[in-house]
Structure formats: C-alpha cells, structure tokens
Structure 1
Amino acid sequence: MMRKTRATSAAGMIAVAAALTGCAGIPGGAEQEQDGPVTLTITTFGTMGFEGLYEEYEKSHPGITIEATNYDQGGEARDALFDAFESGAAPPDVVALEEGWLGQVMAVDDKFVDLRDYHIDSASWRWVPWKYEQGRAPSGRIIAAGTDIGPMGLCYRRDLFAEAGLPTDRKDVATYFEAEGGGWDRYFDVGREYRAATGNAWYDQPLYVWNAMVNQLDQGYYDIDGRLIVRENAELRAQWERLAQAQADGLSAGEAAWDWDGGKAFTDTSFATFMCPGWMLGVVKDQLRNAGGGPETGWDFADVFPGGAANWGGSFLGVPTASGHRDEAAELVLWLTKAEQQEKAFEVAGTFPSTEEMVTVYQKSQKGDPFFGDAPTAAILARRTDGVRSQYKGPLDSQIQDDAFGAALTAFDQGELTADEAWKRALADVDELAAGQG
C-alpha cells in the first residue's frame, strides 16, 4: 500500500541551487526547468517522520510543492525505483534509499547526482563518520545523504522476566547479559533459562536475530572488496549454527515477520525479548496499540545487545540524474538531513538521527518513554552508536537477506526444513541471485 500526500504553497520560486553549485545543471542529466513553480516528487518507505517537514519546507520555500509517496516497506520502494530505471520511466526527484540495498544503488551510481556538486563534502561533519562514508560510491561520488541510523538495544518484558526469576531492572538486565563473556552464546543461554522456567519462547522468530548477527560481522555476505563470500564466510556459518541450536531448543515463538497476530504476541506470553534498533521502538508501540496494549504491558529497553554494538537499517536520500529539478531536489535533500530536521523526525517517528550533534545531545537526555518503563530510550540509543562499524553491503545484500536467508529461515522456523536443509536452500538461492545478476 502507498500513501500519497500533497500540499500547495504560494507561487514564485526562489532559485538558489544554481548559485550554490555555480552551474546550471549536471552533464548527462535531464534538462532542468528553470522558471516558475516547481513540484518535487519524493518516495519514502516505512515511517520516516517527514510529513510535517514537507509542510515546513513549502512555507519557507515559496513556489515549491512537495508530492510524496510512501511505501509500507523498503523493498517496495527499491522495486519501484529500479523498475523506473529499467523501463525508462521518470523516477522521483528525491528517493529514500535503505541501507540494506544501498549496495544495489551503488552499482548504478551514475544514475544519481553527485552531491559534492552541492557541497555536501563541506558539511560532512554533520554525520557520524561511518554514515557519511556509506553514501560514497566506489567511484568516490557521494550519491546519498544520511537520514537515520539503527543502533540496537534489547527490548524485553519485565513481567515475564520476573516470572522466570530473571533480573527486571534494565541496568541489572544489561549486567546479566554481559556475564560470562556476554555475546550471542550468553543471550541464547539466558533464553534457555527462561524457557526452562516458563515453557515459553524467548524471541518472536529467527529472521531479525539472524539479521542482527550478520550485521555485526566485519564481513557479511560480501567482503570489503565487493566479492560475494557467503559460502566461504566461516563466521557467517558459525552464527548460523548458534541460531540453529537456539531454534532446536525451542527459543522461537514461530511468529510471522511483520505480523505478530495483529500485535497480540506483544501483549501475551508469546515471547520475552525483541531485537530493537531505534526505529523498531515505534513498531513495538504500534503493535501494542493494535492489540489494545500500552505501557502496562511491561516492555522495557536495556542498554545492551548480544555481541556488542550493532546497526540495523537506516536510510539515505538521493537525487536521480533524470530529475528535471536536480538543483531544487538536492537543496531539499540537504535540508531534510540537517540536525534540526533529523531531531524533529525522531520525535515523530523514532528514527534515530545520524548527525554527530544529535548523538551528543541525546547522550545527555533523561527523557523517559512510558511505553518502555520510562527508559531513557534516546540516551540509550545514543550510547549504542559507540562501536558501530560500517559493513560493506554488496549489490545483492538486501535480496540475499530477504529472498534467500529470509525464505530459508521461515521454512526452518515452521518445521518445513532442517537446519542443514535450510542452509543449503539459502546457498542455492544465493547462487541463483548471483547468476541472475550476471
């Protein structure tokens, strides 16, 4: 499903980008319209918190109208973008790009404006360094400006932990998970304690656990040279074996990803822990509301994560060269990614800012979130950015995660395949994706 919004502002365009760049356009791009009111089209996905910002931008930029299309999931936005590229149809003026498929975008970086032509390099200090560098193509061009990031903490149910005799205070929970060397082995061991005490599952399903495990590795599905290494990556296989044992021990609730029985699984005893990048906190709240739950349900948020620092997701904005309004589109991109706009988006949608300024500000925040036991979620997320590393994401990264390992893990979780059969199916699907790319 798509959601479209349109707002109209006063006539008369302020042409500023040409003065910023010192040129009328970019070679190889679409011919730009120079006079009159401008309508900028933008596609986003999920909940990015931009709606109020569009209205603010239109008010401060007379003559600019923003027409926005929002897809429910990033994969839909990716498919729409590449369908436009392949068909020759006009893409949006601004497109939101997801971290998981950024590598696919980098493979066609010539289809995007180099934001250095709009002096993004002189503002690189805005972003945490690894986020800024993720927007750089192998050619050196900066084609994506960072919006949010996804530092990860652990969501857990205080009431269910209490029933199992586990610590409930979030600081004690963090200490407990870091005992005996911490890491994923400790997380799964505590899960076995919990299951032995209650008979209930530990996490909702294995897809999100796997995604977090993969994102923590120095090299995931690709090496730093862009070579597909799924078969030979021993660390990847070792993580699979850990997860397979957890599955065999009954730690998964077998929930459907992005479903959770209409949110009921977040209010009953289906599972006690959940993988939570910053943006997922908003998903938990929505699911609780859907099921008639709220702060009383007992969810909390701890400053700890199995295996240490991790990042899941985060988005970028880019400008296709085929845009007829590249200058105006680039100006909008650079405005939306400023610290003050990222802060507003976070307050609305829970998308944690990628700017150094806001990370520093939120580290000192004491504001509690009632949905998570008044946990200082912003401060915890700011601290969880420490130690995050930028993993290289290759062109097929998102498809490998969703279509190969996602499908295999779902079949494994539902008892349709054994762990070895699921691994072999994932590898076969990876091979098929690679052959299709070639």
Structure 2
Amino acid sequence: MKLSRRTTAVATVAGAAAFALLATGCASGAGTSPESSDTPVELTITTFGTFGYDELYKQYEAENENVTITATNIDTGGNARTDTFTKIAAGSGLSDIVALEEGWLGSIMEVSDQFVDLADYGINDRKADWVDWKLAQATDPSGRIIGYGTDIGPQGLCYNGALFEAAGLPSDREAVAELLGGDDATWEDFFATGNTYKAATGKAWYDQSGFVWNSMVNQLDEGYYTADGELNVEGNTELQERWALLAGAAADGLSAAQGQWDWNGGKSFVDGTFATFVCPGWMLGVVQGQTEAGGGDATTGWDFADVFPGGAANWGGAFLAVPETSEHKAEAAKLASWLTEAKQQLGQFAAAGAFPSVAAAQDELASNPTPNAFFNDAPVGTILAARAQGVVAQFKGPDDSIIQENVFGPVTQKLDSGAANAETGWAEAVTLLNELID
C-alpha cells in the first residue's frame, strides 16, 4: 500500500458469516518438511495497521498445539518499513514472518535475497489461487517468490448519507453512484459535486488532499515510476494535470485540511467536518473505528457506494515473507500460507475489511452480499468485488513510498492550507524529489 495504514479500533466489516462462506480452504503448501508436530515452536510475526489476524492466530494455535504465535503490530506502514530495513541492515531482529507493504515492495526487491524463496516451501502448488498480478508483484527479478499475497485495495467511496441529505443531495447508494457519474465517474464530477455540497453547507467535501492524491496517482497505468523502473515524475503530464485538478479543489475549500491519520480523535467523522472519504476495503475499519472513537455509531450516517472517481483504483495490499534469518523457516512458511488461504482471507476481511487477493475468496464475497450494519447495511463485499474489476496494481519503484509520504505529503498539506497552489506546489515537489531521491 502506498500510504501507511493506521492502527484503529477495527470494525467488523463483513460479519462473522464470512467465515462460513467457504467450506474448505486451499491446502497449505508442503515443501521442506516442517518440524515435528510434537516439537514446541514459537513463531514470531510482525504486521502493521489493521491486518485483522488476532482471531486467526488463536485458531491456528488451537489447531497446531505445538505452535505458539508471538505477534507484533506496528502502527503504520511507514514505521514498519523503517523497522524492517533497520533490522535487515543489522542482520538480525526480523520476525519469522514479516508483513511487507505494496508501497515499499520495490525497495524490498533490492534486498530480496534476505527472504526465502517460497517455491522451496510449496507456493507453486498455490499459484492459481491469487489474481495473476498479485503473485507477479511478489516475484523478484531472479524469479524467486518471496511473499504470500494477503489483501488488495480496490476503492469505493465512503460518504455520509445524513450530510448529503442535509445538503439536498441524494443519499441512496445507487443514486450517489449515479450523481458522481457511475461507471464513467471522473474527478471533475467529484469535485463539481463537492462545490455543490460546499455551496449548500459551507463545509468541506473530503478530509484532506493527501489521500485523494494517492488515489489519483494509483489509477494511472504508471505512477511515480514507469513499468520498467524509471522515475516518472518530472515532465509527467498526466500527474501534472491531476495535480492541477486537486490544487483547484483545495483552493475552492473542498478539503477539510485534516492531518493524515489524525481526525481530531475521530470527532471529524462525527461532527460534519467532511462528507466523503476515499475507501479501499481496509479503510472501512478505519472509518468505523474513528467514528466510534469520536462518539458516533451507525446512526452517524456513513455509507459505502459502488463508484470511484476516475474508475478502478488499487490502494494497498501486503505480503507475508519469511526472512532467511528465521530459525523456523518451514513452520513459518506453513503459517504464512495458511493465513493467506481463501477461508482465512475471508476471516481477515470480516475482521478488518482487507479485500482478498485470492480469487476464490473474492468470488464468495461477490456472490454473498452480507449487509454491514455500520455502513447502512451496505453489501460491502459485493461492492468491493465490483470495484476490483479491472484493477491491476502499478509497478512500485524502490522509493515509491518515500515520494508519496516525504515529497508529495508535505506539499499536499500546503495545498490544503493555502500556502501553495498548483504551480508553486508542483515546483516544490520536484525540488524535494531531487533532494531526497538519487
């Protein structure tokens, strides 16, 4: 995922029924023989943000009595990146299983020999499980597969139906999708509707420009890097055109200028500070957790629509890798494989809204529209399955996450505060790029 995922009180996004949708998971890969089933093994795992694994850890321990799982969860993907690379440089300290974020997978590929080739542990027996591009992302230039795919991040639109009604806009999910252009929704439509909303209410349309910019970039065939790994920012007319759109929206007051991952203790989700929020599946848990932290609940009015400006977009996704330093490689690979089987990916979706990368789990969510009580009974799984159509994640270069967070991050904040416009902001971003990226 390009931006970091924040730890929050995680919502139950799909409901416990998701666990029952799939009668059996796929068989775990069996490569190098695991340790004897009666030999006690402590497996360590490090994740970040809202993975939704807690109940799955308990289940695995119950089914594998010799295994004890010691889990560490780091608050953000950015901090997880720092932790991972610090330990790689030190040559020690990595857990038996390490979660890798899509946004910094490119830099991991430069040190991919620090992780085992999962072909030695049976991952090739599961190749057909994942959508093709997910497995391709985890394959290094030498053809070694270093990660079991967890989630992907198809995006829909979270919106507050009560605020829409107060502004004289439709609040029904289908009508909202149509209002924004349906299958032909554009960012121009999104910002124009935002201006209508602001004229009626005097309030902002979305929380802050950083997340919107991230979504705009992710929709392009090539983002900060070309598909062959070259930097792709300076002179990129597609990026500059989108930047100008975003800068215009900020100048119109459509951004609430919130801090990234800081919504006034969740109160901004409750008090009408903004009415829309860009939502990959894993963000649904963030919205619910923040709303509840701010004193709200299902009656606050948040909903989820099958529409996204500019079309299909992927924000996020992760992988589980086994470092070469692990003393329990076979057992770690067995656990990582199990966690990413279809049945467990449905459990992860139920706990945290992380949309599966395994095709069988996607199919189950598409055909079983479980209502989500918090989001006005929206069939979030079915919506996300629809939003996943046409999604192919961009190539992420080695400094992709740094460009998003440390180059464009501070400049989008300046757009929101009025300290920069389209031209000065772009120029500052290019200057930062040249200072930070070799």
TM-score by length of 2: 0.90
Report the equivalent of 1:164. 167
Q: Call closer, same or farther: CA 1:88–1:345 in 2, change over 3 Å.
A: same
The DSSP-based 3-state class of the residue aligned with 2:150 is strand
Report the equivalent of 1:252. 255
The DSSP-based 3-state class of the residue aligned with 1:301 is strand
The partner residue of 1:21 within 31, 41, 65 is 31
Matches within 5 A, 1:170-249: 170-178=173-181, 181-249=184-252
Q: Call closer, same or farther: CA 1:198–1:109 in 2, change over 3 Å.
A: same
| Conservation of the 8 A alpha-carbon contact between 1:33 and 1:324 | no
Which structure is larger by alpha-carbon Rg, 1 or 2? 1
Report the Cα offset of residue 395 of structure 1.
0.5
The partner residue of 2:283 within 263, 277, 280 is 280
Matches within 5 A, 1:39-438: 39-178=42-181, 181-435=184-438
Q: Call closer, same or farther: CA 1:22–1:85 in 2, change over 3 Å.
A: closer
- C-alpha separation between the residues in 2 aligned to 1:374 and 1:101? 35
The DSSP-based 3-state class of the residue aligned with 1:371 is coil
The DSSP-based 3-state class of the residue aligned with 2:326 is coil
The DSSP-based 3-state class of the residue aligned with 2:225 is coil
> What amino acid does structure 2 have at the position aligned with 1:206?
S
- C-alpha separation between the residues in 2 aligned to 1:119 and 1:147? 17
> What amino acid does structure 2 have at the position aligned with 1:101?
W
Instruction: Extract unaligned runs of 5+ from structure 1.
Output: 4-18, 25-31
- C-alpha separation between the residues in 2 aligned to 1:382 and 1:111? 34
> What amino acid does structure 1 have at the position aligned with 2:354?
T
Q: Percentage identity across aligned positions?
A: 52
Report the Cα offset of residue 181 of structure 1.
4.7
The DSSP-based 3-state class of the residue aligned with 1:304 is coil
Report the Cα offset of residue 122 of structure 1.
2.0
Q: Call closer, same or farther: CA 1:252–1:327 in 2, change over 3 Å.
A: same
- C-alpha separation between the residues in 2 aligned to 1:22 and 1:419? 55
| More displaced 10-residue stretch of structure 1: 293-302 or 47-56 | 47-56
Report the Cα offset of residue 36 of structure 1.
4.2
Deviations 1:252-280 (A, max 9, x none): 11111111111111111211111011111
> What amino acid does structure 2 have at the position aligned with 1:411?
K
- C-alpha separation between the residues in 2 aligned to 1:165 and 1:22? 62
| More displaced 10-residue stretch of structure 1: 297-306 or 261-270 | 261-270
Instruction: Extract unaligned runs of 5+ from structure 2.
Output: 1-5, 9-28
The DSSP-based 3-state class of the residue aligned with 1:300 is strand
| Conservation of the 8 A alpha-carbon contact between 1:396 and 1:433 | no
Number of equivalenced pairs? 413
The DSSP-based 3-state class of the residue aligned with 1:331 is helix
- C-alpha separation between the residues in 1 aligned to 2:232 and 2:374? 41
Q: Report runs of 4+ in structure 1 exceeding 6 Å deviation.
A: 32-35
Deviations 1:238-260 (A, max 9, x none): 11011011111111111111111
Report the Cα offset of residue 184 of structure 1.
0.7
Deviations 1:89-137 (A, max 9, x none): 2311100011111111111111111111122122111112222221111
Report the Cα offset of residue 421 of structure 1.
2.5
| Conservation of the 8 A alpha-carbon contact between 1:180 and 1:186 | no
| More displaced 10-residue stretch of structure 1: 372-381 or 120-129 | 120-129
| Conservation of the 8 A alpha-carbon contact between 1:179 and 1:186 | no
Report the Cα offset of residue 220 of structure 1.
0.2
Deviations 1:309-335 (A, max 9, x none): 111111110011121211111111111
Report the equivalent of 2:22. none
Q: Call closer, same or farther: CA 1:217–1:34 in 2, change over 3 Å.
A: same
Report the Cα offset of residue 232 of structure 1.
2.4
Report the Cα offset of residue 375 of structure 1.
0.8
> What amino acid does structure 2 have at the position aligned with 1:188?
F
Q: Call closer, same or farther: CA 1:261–1:333 in 2, change over 3 Å.
A: same
- C-alpha separation between the residues in 2 aligned to 1:220 and 1:139? 24
The DSSP-based 3-state class of the residue aligned with 1:108 is helix
| Conservation of the 8 A alpha-carbon contact between 2:37 and 2:66 | no
| Conservation of the 8 A alpha-carbon contact between 1:279 and 1:350 | yes
**Root mean square deviation, CA, Å:** 2.1
The DSSP-based 3-state class of the residue aligned with 2:374 is helix
| Conservation of the 8 A alpha-carbon contact between 2:116 and 2:146 | yes
Report the Cα offset of residue 2 of structure 1.
9.7
Report the Cα offset of residue 223 of structure 1.
0.2
Report the Cα offset of residue 420 of structure 1.
2.4
| Conservation of the 8 A alpha-carbon contact between 2:133 and 2:392 | yes
